[in-house]
């Protein structure tokens, strides 16, 4: 029974939790298409592609669990054989991660005033993760039993390492660029703090999940615990993307209600923080008007749509 707890038990829990997260992503998908009908076409297509890849992954892992628990019920030796669906799911997990991470890398690129040198290393990390995922998929297709998995050990380790490295690097880059945009205005800094916290959260869960999968791969090599955590990564990627896109209206609302739109003292030298719509995000522009009517803009950016760094989320 202890062997079943560590194998089928872990597999069952992984599929169970991933199903819950898939349901959440479906709800977020519905909210996105109803709440943001004016988003650009390529953003909508990208969201749909992420959801489709994530859904395919969910179907594959569910089939894997069904095979072991139902089709091969009463046949303990079947646990030693690798089902094809548990191999193919690696490919779709890689595709989902690639699409979501690329979205965030593009944000970093725009936020850095389209600095290729700053964004290129992040892009290489994301691309490397996809390449190792494809490599693992190609090699593992020829395996029959789990005792042969050491043949793809290096690919499995590399896949998880690059996934964690890319997530941490992307979140760190977003935080760095946002923190660099701070000014002396408390209202704008408050919104920037919210954006930094949001940027950290988008990469935290996926990187932690990748690290746990890697750790359990080393410490519990004869169990399916590492597979359980790997199953969750695709759901977390999809939900992080949708949560980021769906948070824009809430952030706009907070910016409008926390006093950022106006200040009580409207003297000629008063500071005016203005929040406006820009493209698909929030434009945060802070103006300082002196007595000679000379305005200076201190712009920050989360989505980086403008060359000057107008803030977007």
pLDDT confidence band for 110 (50 / 70 / 90): confident
pLDDT confidence band for 7 (50 / 70 / 90): confident
Q: Quick: pLDDT tens for 250-272.
A: 776 665 665 443 323 323 333 33
* Pairwise pLDDT comparison (296 vs 23), residue with the higher score: 23
Predicted pLDDT at 202? 67
Mean pLDDT along residues 239-243: 90
Predicted pLDDT at 193? 73
Residue 302 and residue 313: Cα distance in Å, rounded? 5
Task: Indicate if the pLDDT at residue 218 is higher than 50.
Answer: yes
> How much of the chain, in percent, has pLDDT values that exceed 70?
74
Mean pLDDT along residues 33-61: 94
Predicted pLDDT at 258? 54
Mean pLDDT of all residues in the chain? 78
Quick one: tokens of 262? 């106006």
Task: Indicate if the pLDDT at residue 50 is higher than 90.
Answer: yes
* Pairwise pLDDT comparison (279 vs 112), residue with the higher score: 112
Q: What is the DSSP letter of 296?
A: E
Topology of domain 2-254, CATH: Rhopdopsin 7-helix transmembrane proteins (1.20.1070)
Task: Indicate if the pLDDT at residue 184 is higher than 60.
Answer: yes
Nearby residues of 228 by Cβ (< 8 Å), 6 or more positions away: 10, 11, 13, 14
- Cα 97 to chain center, whole Å? 7
Predicted pLDDT at 195? 72
Residue 104 and residue 119: Cα distance in Å, rounded? 10
Task: Indicate if the pLDDT at residue 182 is higher than 90.
Answer: no
Task: Indicate if the pLDDT at residue 172 is higher than 60.
Answer: yes
Contact 104, 198 (CB under 8 A): no
Closest CA to 248 of 51, 97, 99, 107: 107
pTM value is: 0.79
Lowest mean pLDDT among 90-94, 212-216, 237-241: 212-216
From edge to edge, which strands make up the β-sheet containing 271-278? 271-278, 281-289, 295-299
> How much of the chain, in percent, has pLDDT values that exceed 90?
34
* Pairwise pLDDT comparison (203 vs 236), residue with the higher score: 236
Predicted pLDDT at 178? 75
Contact 286, 183 (CB under 8 A): yes
Q: Which helix (H) or strand (E) holds 16?
A: helix 10-35
Q: What is the DSSP letter of 223?
A: S
Contact 279, 36 (CB under 8 A): no
Task: Indicate if the pLDDT at residue 213 is higher than 80.
Answer: yes
End-to-end CA distance of the chain: 50
Q: Where are the domains of the chain?
A: 2-254
Predicted pLDDT at 244? 85
Residue 204 and residue 109: Cα distance in Å, rounded? 20
Task: Indicate if the pLDDT at residue 280 is higher than 60.
Answer: no
User: Which whole-number Å values give the CA distances from 6 to 74, 81, 216, 222, in the listed order?
Assistant: 17, 16, 11, 8
């Amino acid at each position: 029974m202890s062997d079943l707890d560590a194998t089928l038990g872990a597999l069952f829990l992984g599929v169970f939790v991933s199903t819950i997260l898939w349901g959440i992503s479906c709800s977020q998908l519905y909210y996105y298409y109803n709440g943001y009908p004016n988003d650009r076409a390529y953003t909508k297509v990208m969201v749909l592609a992420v959801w489709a890849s994530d859904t395919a992954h969910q179907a594959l892992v569910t089939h894997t669990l069904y095979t072991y628990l139902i089709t091969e019920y009463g046949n303990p030796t079947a646990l030693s054989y690798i089902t094809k669906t548990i191999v193919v799911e690696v490919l779709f997990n890689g595709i989902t991660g690639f699409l979501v991470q690329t979205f965030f890398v593009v944000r970093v690129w725009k936020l850095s005033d389209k600095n290729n040198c700053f964004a290129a290393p992040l892009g290489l990390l994301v691309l490397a993760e996809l390449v190792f995922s494809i490599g693992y998929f190609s090699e593992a297709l020829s395996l029959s039993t789990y005792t042969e998995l050491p043949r793809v050990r290096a690919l499995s380790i590399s896949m998880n390492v690059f996934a964690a490295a890319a997530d941490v690097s992307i979140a760190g880059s977003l935080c760095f660029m946002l923190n660099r945009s701070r000014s002396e205005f408390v209202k704008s800094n408050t919104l920037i703090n919210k954006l930094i916290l949001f940027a950290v959260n988008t990469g935290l869960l996926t990187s932690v999940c990748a690290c746990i999968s890697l750790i359990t791969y080393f410490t519990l090599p004869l169990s399916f615990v590492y597979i359980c955590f790997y199953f969750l990564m695709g759901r977390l990627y999809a939900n992080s993307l949708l949560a980021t896109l769906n948070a824009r209206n809430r952030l706009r609302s907070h910016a409008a209600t926390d006093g950022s739109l106006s200040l009580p003292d409207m003297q000629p030298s008063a500071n005016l923080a203005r929040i406006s719509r820009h493209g698909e995000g929030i434009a945060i522009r802070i103006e300082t008007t002196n007595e000679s009517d000379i305005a200076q803009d201190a712009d920050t950016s989360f989505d980086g749509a403008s060359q000057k760094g107008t803030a977007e989320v």
